[in-house]
Amino acid sequence: MLRSLYISSFVIIDELRVDFDEGMSVLTGETGAGKSIIIDALGQLCGNRSSVSLIRKNASKAIVEGIFDTVESEELRQVCDDLHIDLEEQFVITKEILSSGKSNVKINYQNASINALKLLTPYLIDIHSQFETQKLFEEKKHILLLDQYANKELKPLISQYQELYQNYKDISSQLRSAIEEDMSDEQLDFLQSQVQEIDEVTYTDEEVDDLENELHLLENYEKINENIHYFDHIMNSSNGVLSQLKEAIDSLQSLQDYEEFNESYDKMYDQYYNFQDEYENIMDIYHQFHFDEYRFDELQDILFKINRLKRKYGYTMERINEYREELIEKIDNINHRDEYISSLEKEKKEYENQCIQLGEKIHTIRKKYANKFEKAIIKELKDLYLENALFKVDFKKVALHSLGIDKIAFKVAINKGQDYSLLNESASGGEISRIMLAIKTIILSYGNVDAIVFDEVDTGVSGKVARSIGNKMLNLAKTKQVICITHLPQVASLAQHHYSIEKEMNDEQTVTSMKHLDQKERIQEIAKMLSSEKITTEAIENAKKLLDV
């Protein structure tokens, strides 16, 4: 559940911190007071796109932070494992929106990505906005809603199916490429010439490094020669370092009778012979090295060919050799084109049959749950004063797609004698709101998410229908945390917790605040909702009746 929400410098909110509790909470306030901004802030915690326009004027950044108590589930644990984060009893999610246009995300105070939010937060909170209601018109969403209802039984089969389907798509792509690809004799000659070109230079990346080092030495031979000669002169001439150092050590030898000098003499004596050894070692290396013009030209030619191959086929010899294997495979496919295509067709057919067989199993399970779903929705609709409404999950078998072999559409018949039709063809705005609430109520009651936010789900209704919608949310709040934004007093009066959102001018700026109402304040708020601008005595009495006080 959503335990608390902190908002700073977000649109017209200066700073706001609010704690939420279990059960049903309502947020009320005049139009434009900032109720939708609360939803927008929660949307940021769910990974919605950020914009500098969300930062309050004259602020350097906006901050939204939510603290969520978690309900442990296998799905949530798997998501946490995939994101390499620990599954905690509580998640603290923070998002900063910077004036530069960038944003920072943290999960339990550790840096995270927007994608991590999108994967994690669906297991923490479900936000149902008016935009989500409009999505009900999209037929492609209907199969996802039914699968969500049948999740426990369907999920492992859907995962298995999608793996098979991806293999089917990959093989289909390979087959299409094989059929469309140029496999003429000219193409075969071209591929073979590429292999021959690569085979002329058979070196590893380590060997290429050695060749480049050898060429570098030859290119700098004159400089090396000059420096070695100078080194030899300094070290070993009649007046060189070694000669003078030997004279100096010999002069110390005459002081051997004095023990104080013996240790220093021994050390310098050893150092002299170390210098002598290193000098001879350097000169031995030099004498082994000589400039070979033939080798110089050979190295240049080899490295020229290697660099040309790198430009054409890859930046390393390893990649070039991988490309060579690809060429060999293509050549083999051309030489055995019919067999290759036949093999792909056979493999494609095998995956297709497996997908169809598993798709049939998924179809059967969907049909079973669709019958239960239809009955549950019709019952919910009756409770919402759509007594004559019928609801049907319409199935059509279609070609293989990522979710199986089914095309699903939700259809309704609102009135007696009316034919079934798609939702947007017959239902009014108020009816759509009730149908969506019925679907959400059924699906969410089976899910693991513990916090549900409804943004004006009661749009287009009033009176007893509004009361029935409120009762639906109150009933859902027995097992879930429900937070509802509403304009209707019939809905607001049913909640266990009531928050008022107000907008006021402060230092020539508009500021939104949010307050948890006590019983007396709640009576005033609902009376205001009943009587608009001026709170009448009758409105106060009606508010008390609605609140049963």
Which domains does the chain show, CATH number per domain? 1-124+494-515 (3.40.50.300), 195-333 (no CATH), 517-549 (no CATH)
Asked if 309 and 197 count as a contact pair (C-beta separation under 8 A), the reply is yes
pLDDT at 68: 94
Asked if 461 and 469 count as a contact pair (C-beta separation under 8 A), the reply is yes
Q: Which two tokens stand for residue 375?
A: 């009955």
Asked if 423 and 127 count as a contact pair (C-beta separation under 8 A), the reply is no
pLDDT at 243: 86
pLDDT at 239: 84
- Cα torsion 263, 264, 269, 273: sign: positive
In single-letter form, the type of residue at position 281 comes to N
Instruction: Give φ, ψ of 515 to 5 degrees.
Output: -135, 140
- For the stretch 228-277, pLDDT in tens is 889 888 888 888 888 888 888 888 877 777 778 888 888 888 888 898 89
- For the stretch 418-463, pLDDT in tens is 889 887 777 777 788 888 888 888 888 777 788 999 988 777 777 8
pLDDT at 189: 87
Q: Is 51 helix (H, G, I), strand (E, B) or coil?
A: coil
pLDDT at 346: 95
Asked if 540 and 525 count as a contact pair (C-beta separation under 8 A), the reply is no
What parts of the chain have a pLDDT lower than 50? none
- For the stretch 203-231, pLDDT in tens is 899 999 999 988 888 888 888 888 888 98
Strand order in the sheet with 404-413: 390-401, 404-413, 421-422
Instruction: Give φ, ψ of 314 to 5 degrees.
Output: 160, 160
Asked if 8 and 15 count as a contact pair (C-beta separation under 8 A), the reply is yes
Rounded-to-integer distance, Cα 14 and Cα 526, Å: 26
Rounded-to-integer distance, Cα 231 and Cα 226, Å: 9
